[in-house]
Structures are given as structure tokens and as C-alpha cells.
Amino acid sequence: MGAQLRVYKRRIRSVTATKKITKAMEMIAASRVVKAQRKVAASTPYATELTRAVTAVGTGSNTKHPLTTQAETVVRSAVLLLTSDRGLAGAFNSNAIKAAEQLTARLEAEGKQVDTYIVGRRGLAHYNFRERKVVESWSGFTDEPTYADAKKVAGPLIEAIEKETADGGVDELHIVYTEFVSMMTQTAIDSRLLPLSLEEVAKEAAPKGEILPLYDFEPSAEDVLDALLPRYVESRIYNALLQSAASKHAATRRAMKSATDNAGELITTLSRLANAARQAEITQEISEIVGGSAALADATAGSDR
């Protein structure tokens, strides 16, 4: 076998092995998307009921709460960025990071200080490499977040917002995550989580102008609101974590699918080249034999004369 042909054969073998791996990763990601979507669906009843309850307290009483009060001048904002722990997901992480950076730039242009909180190793690595300050970060659960993880993330954030600005507290909380629109579309979005605008929550809960009954609060409206709002924030963060996980798996699936397709194309091209090389080798051998025998025949014919 010629040297050229051997090189082609070796490359085909290596690309075939890679293709098998990416194909397997694609299938795993596909099954995980379905699982993640199911988790999003399973968390919906709790979120809807909670939204309803928040609306009920918000409309049924005039209670003031640190989580719903807009600061007169916003000095410091917190940005929570949700990324994944692992890469191989196309532009998933870079899109989320880009969205966070745009938001940070916008807030800084408005004269606010920005505290960054990060979920996921990828985002943290990006910030550490650029030596930017990260207040707190969490990782290790981005593939399958649980409610306990959301609580862990929400705890310090709620604490920061309840603290006075002068003591290092923040006035508002923004969250940047990747929304799962469909299997093919995931968009990185940012939204302001706190302070909570009760009007907006109400719009979300009863879009058809449904009138909520007058509730009896047990023990009191203030206490209910006190207990309710942190849970609401947790549930919103939980939802964002789940959507981000589903998006990550969908992005991985897509990236791995195109990797598999590309590997297939590469194999076709390489096989064609290998075939051509083999054919060229055969042709050369034949022409060598023919040439050799012709020379031999000429030589014998010459000696006869």
C-alpha cells in the first residue's frame, strides 16, 4: 500500500471514531432535553400558585416590603449570570456571557456599580481569566438543578438586597439566563427580578382581568408577604436554572449533531481521495509494467537483428 493511501486510511479511521463519540453525545443530550423539559413542566404548578398568591397579597393589602420597594437612587445592582459547567454546547455559554456583559455595560453607563454573581464553571472561568471580581459563584448542579440548589443561590442574593446600600447591599437584582423557546431556539435574555413590581406579577397571574377574591390572611398580610416573597424569588431562580439546563442540553444536541454531520462529510471526502489515490497507484503500476515490458521487448528485438 502506498504512503498516500495509508495516510488517508488512518484519517478515515480517526474521524469514524470521533463521529461515534459525537453521535453518542447527541443522543444523550437529546434524552436530557426531554428530561429537563419535563422538570420545567413539573415545576409549573408551584410557580403558578405562588404567583397567584403573591398577586393576592399585593392587591389585597398595601403592605410595604424591602423586596418590592424601588430605591430612590440605585447605587448598586447585582447581576446573576447562569451558565453551564461544561462546554461543547456551541455558542450557549458565550451568548449568555455576552448578554451579561451588555447588561453590565448598560448599568455602568447609568452610573451604577455592578456586583456579579455566577452560576456554572464556564462563566466563572471567563470572569476569572479576565480577572474581574465575582462576588459569589456556584457550580456542580447546572445539568440537573434541584430546588435546594435554587435556594442556595437565592439565599445570599435576598440577603444582599435586604441589606442597606451603605453596608454593601444592593438595590436591584437582574438575572441573565438562556430561555428555552423551542428545541431549535434558545435565547439569552436578561430581566429584572427585584425589586418586584406587583403590578407586573398581577398581569402575569390574571391576564384576562380576572378579579381575585379578598383573602383572609393568616397570621397577617405582612407576615404572609414576608414568607411569600423570598419563596417567589427562589421559584423564579429555580425556573431560570431549569430553563438554562434545558437550553444547554438542546445546544449540546445541536452542536453534536452538526459535528456528526461534518464528520460524515469528511469521511466521504476522504474515502473519495483514498479511492483516487488507490486508482492512481494501480495506474502507475500498470504503466510501469507496460513500459518495462515494452522496453524489454525493444531490447530483445534489437539483439535479434
Contacts with other proteins, residue ranges (CB under 8 A): 39, 42-43, 45-46, 49-50, 52-53, 56-57, 146-147, 150-151, 212-219, 223-224, 227-228, 231, 234-235, 238
Query: Least Å distance between CB 256 and other proteins?
Result: 28
Identity of the residue, 15 or 150, whose beta carbon is nearer to other proteins in the bound complex: 150
Please say which residue, 80 or 150, places its beta carbon nearer to other proteins: 150
- Name the residue nearer to other proteins (CB basis): 84 or 235: 235
Beta bridge partners of 191: 175
Single out the residue of 32, 88, 20 nearest to residue 260, CA to CA: 20
Q: Is the peptide bond before 195 cis (omega within 30 degrees of 0)?
A: yes
Q: What b/e string do you get for 171-187 counting C-beta neighbours within 10 Å, with b at 16 or more?
A: bbbbbbbbebeeeeebe
Query: Which positions ≥6 away from 51 have C-beta within 8 Å?
Result: 201, 204, 205, 232
* 173 vs 228 by CB, closer to other proteins: 228
CB of 68 to other proteins, least distance (A): 17
Task: Report, in Å, the least distance between residue 44 CB and other proteins.
Answer: 9
Of the candidates 17, 24, 3, the one whose C-alpha atom is nearest the C-alpha of residue 266 is 17
Q: Which is nearer to other proteins, 149 or 190 (CB)?
A: 149
Neighbours of 4 (CB within 10 A): 15
Least Å distance, CB 143 to other proteins, is 15
The residues pairing with 176 across neighbouring beta strands, listed in sequence order, are 81, 190
Q: Residue 239 Cβ, how far from other proteins at the closest point, in Å?
A: 10
